[in-house]
Structure 1
Amino acid sequence: MAKTNPGRFFEDYAVGDVLTHAVPRTVSGGERALYHALYPARHALYSSDEFAKGCGLPASPVDDLITFHMVFGKTVPDVSLNAVANLGYAEGRWLKPVYEGDTLTSVSEVIGLKQNSNGKTGVVYVRTTGRNQHGEPVLDYCRWVMVRKKNVDAPAPDTVLPELKTVLAPGDLVIPEGLDFSTYDTALAGEPHRWGDYEIGETIDHVDGVTIEEAEHMLATRLWQNTAKVHFDVSVRPEGRLIYGGHVISMARALSFNGLANAQMIVGLNGGAHANPCMAGDTVRAWSEVLDKAETSAPGVGAIRLRLVATKGGEPFALKDEGGKYRPEVLLDLDYWALMPI
């Protein structure tokens, strides 16, 4: 009996499969320190216990994207070890802040399958839930992945495409218990711009750029226990190791501090596309567009819907060509909800 795990291929999935992912992970201050070393992350709520207490929380949570990376990383051996590409996201909700000492686990359900016309690959849709040590959900989201077939002659499964929301309604968002921005300190946060200062349709060039290094992205991917072969093994992808898409997400989110320093907490992920591959040596820049705004029931807290675009060159605010295809310099197109002081 084989003792090693070659990973699942497309023909190994069936709609309704429940995948319990291995290796629980207890969060420590090390994750925060390494995250802030890898990315220029400066949002005050995730940097200071005292600032977080001033916002009604018991302490500073770990960055929302640390939670995302940890929950996501556990799914890789069962969902995307043999993936060609991670294609998109929908219906992501951060349900509860994660603090140092919490232990996270992940479970996924296969909710859709579609074999590609080439017969060599197919798309697998999963809904993943991350829970803490009390069994409380802290994050759930859907994603879809293109996965290789091991046997190209294996019969194609019936196509099942899940119905997913294109946008989360404000009422779908979960506001952390106790969150209160009524005495929010913009001087300590780094910028004066509040929820009321942003207009729907406004675009923001975040100005700064960071060149991706090979060692940094592999360190990040290992940190989240992401074992996808395309990030490490050039024999799997001879044209070069693909930068983990989450690395680009975190880099772009960190760069967005310059212009959106008060968009403190990510609470919803409406959609996302890794539009083009990112490779070591690319210089990532970012821009944002305000898509929507909504009030919340929490004191002093507004929700702002943002499009975050990461690029590796080109002019800011250029997204697609005349044919509706992403421009070649666009790396990421992410649509999310964040919480901001009114």
Structure 2
Amino acid sequence: MTKTNSGRFFEDYKIGQVIRHAVPRTVAEGERALYHALYPARHALYSSDEFAADCGLDGSPIDDLIAFHTVFGKTVPDISLNAVANLGYAEGRWLRPVMPGDTLRAQSEVIGLKQNSNGKSGVVYVRTQGLNQVGEPVLDYVRWVMVRKRDPDAAAPETVVPDLADAVAAEDLIVPDGLSFADYDFELAGESHRLGDYEIDEKIDHVDGVTIEEAEHMLATRLWQNTAKVHFDATNREDGKRLIYGGHVISMARALSFNGLANAQMMVALNAGAHANPCFAGDTIRAWSEVLDKAETSAPGVGAIRLRLVATKGDSANFPLKGEDGKYLPEVLLDLDYWALIPV
């Protein structure tokens, strides 16, 4: 009897199936320090207990994307160990800050299945929830993944494709208890730009770039306990390359966006996302953002800004995205739509 785990294949998933993922993970200041070493992350709310306290919080939370990657990593052995590609995200919300010392676990429900026409793989839709040590949800999101079939001749399941919202409505955004930007220190935050300084449809070139290194992306992926074979095993792909974890690209682009969006402090919703093209070691990531929407919240001095964050390899100054055929240009790596909290 085999004791090793070969992962689930497409025919192993059933609509309504709930999977409790191993292994709970306690996150602490070490994760923050290593995250800031891997990415040029400088948002003040996640860098300073004093700055966070002045904004009404008990201290500096763990970066939103640390929470996301940690929860995501829990799901990989059950959802995407045999994935061909992670295809997209929707309806994601951060529900409460994760503080140093919190323990995170994850569970997912299968909400959609669609076999591909080649009969060799299919798309699995899951809604994943991250929970802390007292069972409070800290985030939830939907993602869909293309997963290989174990047996190409296995019968196709009934097609179920969930009806997903294009974006999280502004009134459904969760502002952390006590958060206030009424006495926000723009000088210490690094920029003077408020919500009113941004215009819908405005595009911001974040200027800076970072070349992806093999060792760094593998270190990051191990940090999140992401076991997907394509990120580590160079024999898993015909081209002999390790695929960069898409979350590594998300974090790098978000960190680069500090230059121009230093006051877009907290990510509170993930509306949509696509890993448009594969990223490999040696690629230089640059980023630009487009302002999609703006909203007020009931918290003192706190507004919300909806942003499209695009990561490219090579030059980003011309804001490339899609060609005349409607497909992503080959230099586009990431197209991410999210809400962040920003001073008004």
Fold shared by both chains (TM-score > 0.5): yes
Long gaps (5+) in structure 2: none
Instruction: Please identify, of 164-173 and 285-294, the stretch whose mean Cα deviation from structure 2 is larger.
Output: 164-173
Q: Contact 2:91 / 2:270 at 8 angstroms: preserved in 1?
A: yes
- 1:25 correspondence with 2:25: yes
Read off the aligned partner of 2:330 and give its amino acid letter: P
1:289 maps onto 2:290 in alignment: yes
Deviations 1:77-123 (A, max 9, x none): 00000001100000000000000110000000000000001111100
Q: What is the DSSP-based 3-state SS (H/G/I as helix, E as strand, rest coil) of the residue aligned with 1:235?
A: helix
Q: Distance in 2 between matches of 1:143 and 1:45?
A: 28
TM-score by length of structure 1 reads: 0.99
SS of 2:236 mapped into structure 1: coil
Q: Match for residue 9 of structure 2?
A: 9
How many Å apart are 1:235 and its aligned residue?
1.6
What residue is the counterpart of 1:232 in the other structure? 232
Report the TM-score, using the length of structure 2 for normalisation: 0.99
Deviation, structure 1 residue 238: 3.1
Give the match for residue 213 of structure 2: 213
1:318 pairs with one of 320, 324, 336: 320
Match of 1:192 in 2: 192
Per-residue deviation, residues 252-308 of structure 1 (Å, max 9, x unmatched): 000000000000000000000000000000000000000000000000000000000
Moved over 6 A (4+): none
Whole-angstrom distance in 2 between the partners of 1:278 and 1:314: 15
| Distance (Å, rounded) in 2 between the aligned partners of 1:251 and 1:85 | 20
Q: How many residues align?
A: 342
Q: Secondary structure at the match of 1:196?
A: helix
Please list the CA deviations of residues 108-155 of structure 1 after superposition, one character each: whole Å capped at 9, or x if unmatched: 000000000111110000000000011000000000000001110111
| Counterpart-to-counterpart distance in 2, 1:138 and 1:103 | 11
Structure 1 residue corresponding to 2:330, chosen from 328, 331, 341 = 328
C-alpha distance in 1, partners of 2:277/2:81? 20
Shift of 1:200: 0.4
The C-alpha deviation readout for 1:294-327, integer Å capped at 9, x for no partner, is: 0000000000000000000244311100111100
Q: Which segment is superposed worse, 164-173 or 233-242?
A: 233-242
Match of 2:128 in 1: 128
Which residue matches 1:242? 243
Distance 2:144 2:166 in 1: 14
3-state SS in 2 of match to 1:222: helix
**Matching residue's letter, 1:153:** D
Partner Cα separation in structure 2 for residue 123 and residue 71 of structure 1: 20
State the Cα distance separating 1:236 from its structure 2 match.
1.2
Q: Which letter does structure 1 place at the counterpart of 2:322?
A: K
Aligned-partner SS, 1:284: strand
The 5-angstrom pairing of residues 93-132 of structure 1 reads 93-132=93-132
User: What do the CA deviations read for 1:31-51 (whole angstroms, capped 9, x no partner)?
Assistant: 000000000000000000000
Gaps of 5+ in 1: none
Q: What is the percentage of aligned positions where both structures have the same residue?
A: 79
User: Separation in 1 of the partners of 2:49 and 2:186?
Assistant: 16
Contact persistence 2:311–2:332 (CA under 8 A): yes
**Letter aligned with residue 327 of structure 2:** K
Deviation digits for residues 143-192 of structure 1 (CA, Å, limit 9, x no counterpart): 00000011101111110000110111101110000000000000000000
Tell me the amino acid that sits aligned with residue 319 of structure 1.
L
Q: Decide whether the 8 Å contact of 2:70 with 2:224 is kept in 1.
A: yes
Structural mapping, 1:155-170, within 5 Å: 155-170=155-170
Matched residue SS, 2:23:
coil
Is 1:305–2:290 an aligned residue pair?
no
Counterpart CA distance in 2 for 1:315 and 1:258 is 14
Aligned match of 1:48: 48
Distance 1:201 1:34, change over 3 A: same
